[in-house]
């Protein structure tokens, strides 16, 4: 999936955008790997970056990748 933005977004903006959440259906136990590296929700995501969205059921469960989002800034 690719997600378009008009300005450079933060990781949090990408994974919490309504269209991404609606399509993926994940809750609050989510993390993002930007180009393979776990990033904080406040960090900026460069144009063309790939974000792997992972979820887990609880704090003891293993992370499971559920989506790959490519960020496009226009």
Backbone angles phi, psi at 18, to 5 degrees: -55, -40
User: Which residues 6+ apart lie within 8 Å of 12 measured at CB?
Assistant: 41, 42
- Predicted local distance difference test score (pLDDT) of residue 1: 84
- Predicted local distance difference test score (pLDDT) of residue 66: 83
Pairing status of strand 50-55 against strand 64-73? antiparallel
List average pLDDT for each run of 10 residues in the chain, which is 74 residues long.
91 82 71 91 93 87 88 91
- Predicted local distance difference test score (pLDDT) of residue 39: 94
């Amino acid at each position: 999936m690719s997600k378009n933005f008009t300005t450079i977004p933060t990781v949090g903006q990408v994974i919490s955008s309504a269209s991404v959440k609606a399509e993926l259906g994940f809750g609050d136990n989510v993390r993002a790997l930007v180009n393979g590296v776990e990033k904080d929700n406040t960090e900026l995501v460069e144009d063309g970056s790939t974000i792997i969205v992972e979820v887990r059921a609880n704090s003891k469960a293993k992370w499971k990748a559920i989506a790959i989002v490519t960020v496009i800034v226009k």
